[in-house]
Structure 1
Amino acid sequence: MEPMFFDGWASLVRTCIVGVMAYCFLVISLRVSGKRTLAKMNAFDWVVTVALGSTLATILLSKDVTLAQGALALSLLIGMQFAVTWSGVRVDWVRSVVSGEPALLVYRGEFLHAALLKERVNEDDVFAAVRSAGVRGLGEVEAVVLETDGSFSVLPLGGERSGKSSIEKLRLAGQADNSEHGPNE
């Protein structure tokens, strides 16, 4: 049976030394790669962030993984994140595959039921988002959008409109996808 509570000082010293070095390597790598590496803008970003944390934990706790192997694994994850986000900024289909598109769920106070079904969102989720935004009801809502990171954006009615609206693009896409249940003008 392996020791459960204490395995000797050598393993504790290893954890401290490797932990400090791996942490410093990760911090420097993240600073070099830029702010976008840890941004949680979509599911892909979340997965990379979790994978970085899991890799760091493995480096700290597993005697089977050397610091060099761990540093390589962290570098690989950060490099892949950089390559994918760099490509996503420049190539539309990469951005679409990695990020997806936001979905218009409510337009001018009316649920877009086909969009709710497609995105697997129920009306109660939308009402909760509306309340969280400090809006009393759907009658006061221009739009509710399910963003690519899974959060809801609630845009209240009112105010002057100037310039191009980000809702127009979503509204037109929603009409193409949901021709029989499209938003009413």
Structure 2
Amino acid sequence: MARPEKEAVVKELTDKFSSAKSIVITDYLGLNVAEMTELRRQLREAGVEFKVVKNTLATIAANQIEMEAMTEFFSGPTAIAFGEEDPVSPAKILVDFAKDHDVIEIKAGLLNGEIITKEKVQSLAKIPSREVLLAQAFANMKAPLTGLVNVLQGNIRGLVQVLGQIKDQKA
């Protein structure tokens, strides 16, 4: 790779490290082409970019944004998933994929500029999606209103039953 191409890759990685909401660093050694294609497809559908990177270029990019602690994870075959929109998607997809494919190993992650361990990446993957969390919040807000409606209907229902009984007695 020529020097201008390397500089372009470093600049791209620096931009992605700075702008991504979450990053998951993985070791992909042992995945065949079909498995790698399937992983890329799943990540792409979720709006996650997945790049195989050279460790030296990733180290230079991490040093440029003053994230030297991240450089310890750039050894061996390294691929990085960048979550631009949803910070949970890269972790969720990679952890699920790693369950089925033992060869892929999650090394670490970056969430909102902070380095997180492999264990924290796995716990991040257990968080429900944004849509599920919104639905749960809406259901929790709706529950008291539903209860109030049922209580009010109970009084009306009781009044109708009493009036029905009075009607039956008079008939």
Higher strand fraction: Structure 1 or Structure 2?
Answer: 2
TM interval, shorter chain, is: under 0.3
